[in-house]
Amino acid sequence: MTEVGRNMPFRKPDDEGARPTDVTETLVARGTAGAVAVAWDADQALTALYSANYRSLVRLAAMLVRDAGTAEEVVQDAFVAMHGGWRRLRDPDKALSYLRQSVVNRSRSVLRHRAVVEKYAPKGLPDAPSAEAGAIGELERSAVIEALHRLPARQREALVLRYYADLSEAEIASAMGISRGAVKSHTARGMAALRNVLEQFS
């Protein structure tokens, strides 16, 4: 087969009497091409999203899970899941919004799992802190961060998304999977609780 023939395997040959391309082959070829196109689109889109938003998403997750290493895993898992489900994404223009929502949901799962583990884990000597834990520890020494960690989870999420990630009420509602009214309620209650906690530190 010539080089051209190898590059264009489904082109009908010019030789008279040659076997016509089978319909099944054509459909398989089109289906394969479609899958490749979707995968290529996902690769390109996710690469761009990763380059532009990975660090900010990790910082967001770190504020919620209080662990830099776990925050990186949460964000990476969110990207992997989005890549696998790219074909089912209803609106690619909202990919970043979906990623934020995935990061928030996965952070919640981490915290729930951590609470269960800590509840049933035997009491012993604490492990030596990692370098990542030390970096997060520096951040948590501030009174505001410490106060945030004392708030209920939804209030903390609302405040972090609003004042740290600088999202709008609509974006926060999407990320948390709640209504805009609930966002306002959690934000207001969180601010009031935050002031009370900070007053205790002063």
Rounded mean pLDDT of the chain? 76
**Mean of the pLDDT values across residues 68-84?**
94
Q: Which residues of 41-72 are buried (b: 16+ CB within 10 A; e: fewer)?
A: ebeebbeebbeebeeebbbbbbbbbbbbebbb
Is 67 within 8 Å of 135 (Cβ atoms)?
no
User: What pTM was estimated for this model as a whole?
Assistant: 0.64
Angle between helices 131-140 and 68-84 (to 10 degrees): 100
- pLDDT over 50 at 29, yes or no: no
**Mean of the pLDDT values across residues 193-201?**
80
Residue 40 has what pLDDT?
59
Phi, psi dihedral angles at 10 (to 5 degrees): -110, 15
Within 10 angstroms of residue 83's Cβ, the number of other Cβ atoms is 16
Tens digits of per-residue pLDDT, 78-107? 999 999 888 888 787 889 999 999 999 999
Residue 23 has what pLDDT?
41
Tens digits of per-residue pLDDT, 183-192? 999 999 999 9
